[in-house]
């Protein structure tokens, strides 16, 4: 029990870091440098994880890393940066909390993975929660930020479907390192041409970039995948709810974001939808799994005929 608690506390660092990163980006990073913002987040983290895993892509993983790096790193980090800069922190966190629910529909549309009715209901409840939270201030919200949030969710969902299909032959943390590095290298020339020199690095900005790259990316991914190896998938899924919670708390306490009864009810519906879709134990458990209930779950499951039996476990930073 004590060991499980230690692993849970370590794993919780990942969603907490991702949730606080909305506020760090909004408060301390330059609003007009999304390409450099994404590059300076991904490149140091990718190189650090490469040094940690000491593996390089082989065979088809060279082109897979390039495509997944484009989706999961380059496009996703740029859109997430725009959303964090353009929207109140609590709003950005609430919208992105629906990503696991949108993944159900994406897997259904792109891979024919029909969701279980209970999980489909959970997805609809969660999306209704996002709509409820945004209902009042929608006209006052930055449309660029909303579009960036939706785009980030769609890009990450497509990346998830491909990652699940290509999970063979690569450790998840190593594949993450390859994608981060490939995505950053794809972004680097565009950042230099479109945005010019890197943004000025005052002490607060430098510390913010360091937090984003080293804590909210490299350390967070390492902790997340460690948790998936040592904890039941349902426990990790519950810990993932700390992501939007951290973003909402920081936005309301430090930035004074409006967060009343309606927003609270909306966030509660999002959490309910995710809980409805969390992994459930099989009816006929394998004896080895019964003997070792904390055996490491597959962190990136391959597509199954009924993908609705569990929500994707891929993190959405």
Contact criterion met (CB below 8 Å) for 119 and 287:
no
As a whole number of angstroms, the distance between CA 43 and CA 37 comes to 10
**Span 106-155, pLDDT tens digits:** 777 776 777 777 777 777 787 787 777 766 554 567 888 889 988 998 89
**DSSP secondary-structure letter at 69?**
I
Higher-confidence residue: 265 or 223?
223
As a whole number of angstroms, the distance between CA 300 and CA 119 comes to 18
- Token pair belonging to 15: 């969603």
Mean pLDDT of 262-269: 79
pLDDT (0 to 100) of residue 306: 36
Mind giving me the DSSP string for 186-255? HHHHHHHHHH-SPPP--HHHHHHHHIIIIIIIIIHHHHHHHHHHHS-HHHHHHHTTHHHHHHHHHHHHHS
Cβ within 8 Å of residue 263, ≥6 positions away: 90, 94, 133, 248
As a whole number of angstroms, the distance between CA 187 and CA 43 comes to 10
Q: Which backbone phi and psi does 110 adopt, to 5 degrees?
A: -95, -30
For residue 75, count other CB atoms closer than 10 A to its CB: 22
How much is the pTM?
Answer: 0.80
pLDDT (0 to 100) of residue 299: 36
Q: Residue 221 CA to chain centroid, in angstroms?
A: 10
The long-range contacts involving 221-225, CB below 8 angstroms and separated by at least 24 positions, are 221/14, 221/45, 221/49, 221/173, 221/176, 221/315, 221/317, 222/49, 222/52, 222/173, 223/10, 223/11, 223/13, 223/14, 224/11, 224/14, 224/15, 224/315, 225/172, 225/173, 225/176, 225/299
**Span 28-44, pLDDT tens digits:** 999 999 999 999 999 99
Contact criterion met (CB below 8 Å) for 158 and 48:
no
pLDDT (0 to 100) of residue 70: 95
As a whole number of angstroms, the distance between CA 156 and CA 22 comes to 17
- Token pair belonging to 84: 């964090």
pLDDT (0 to 100) of residue 36: 97
pLDDT (0 to 100) of residue 272: 82
pLDDT (0 to 100) of residue 222: 92
Q: Residue 220 CA to chain centroid, in angstroms?
A: 10
As a whole number of angstroms, the distance between CA 263 and CA 87 comes to 15
Contact criterion met (CB below 8 Å) for 294 and 11:
no
Least-confidence region, from 64-68, 82-86, 186-190, 261-265: 261-265
User: What percent of the chain has pLDDT above 90?
Assistant: 38
């Amino acid at each position: 029990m004590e060991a499980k608690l230690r692993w849970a506390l370590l794993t919780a660092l990942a969603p907490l870091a991702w949730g606080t990163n909305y506020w760090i980006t909004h408060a301390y990073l330059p609003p007009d440098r999304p390409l450099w913002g994404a590059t300076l987040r991904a490149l140091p983290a990718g190189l650090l994880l490469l040094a940690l895993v000491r593996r390089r892509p082989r065979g088809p993983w060279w082109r897979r890393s390039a495509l997944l790096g484009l989706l999961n790193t380059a496009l996703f980090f740029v859109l997430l940066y725009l959303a964090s800069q353009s929207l109140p922190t609590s709003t950005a966190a609430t919208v992105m909390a629906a990503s696991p629910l949108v993944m159900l529909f994406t897997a259904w549309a792109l891979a024919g993975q029909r969701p279980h009715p209970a999980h489909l209901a959970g997805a609809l409840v969660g999306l209704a929660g996002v709509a409820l939270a945004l209902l009042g201030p929608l006209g006052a919200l930055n449309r660029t930020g909303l579009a960036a949030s939706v785009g980030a969710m769609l890009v990450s969902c497509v990346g998830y479907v491909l990652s699940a299909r290509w999970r063979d032959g690569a450790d998840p943390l190593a594949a993450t390192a390859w994608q981060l590095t490939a995505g950053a290298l794809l972004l680097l020339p565009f950042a230099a041409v479109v945005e010019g020199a890197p943004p000025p690095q005052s002490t607060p900005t430098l510390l913010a970039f360091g937090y984003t790259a080293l804590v909210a990316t490299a350390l967070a991914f390492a902790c997340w995948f460690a948790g998936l190896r040592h904890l039941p998938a349902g426990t990790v899924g519950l810990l993932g709810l700390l992501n939007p919670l951290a973003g909402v708390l920081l936005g309301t306490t430090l930035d004074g974001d409006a967060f009343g009864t309606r927003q609270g009810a909306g966030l509660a519906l999002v959490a309910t939808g995710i809980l409805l879709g969390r992994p459930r134990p099989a009816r006929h458990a394998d004896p080895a799994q019964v003997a070792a209930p904390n055996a490491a779950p597959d962190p990136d499951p391959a597509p199954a005929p009924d993908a609705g039996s569990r929500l994707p476990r891929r993190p959405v930073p």
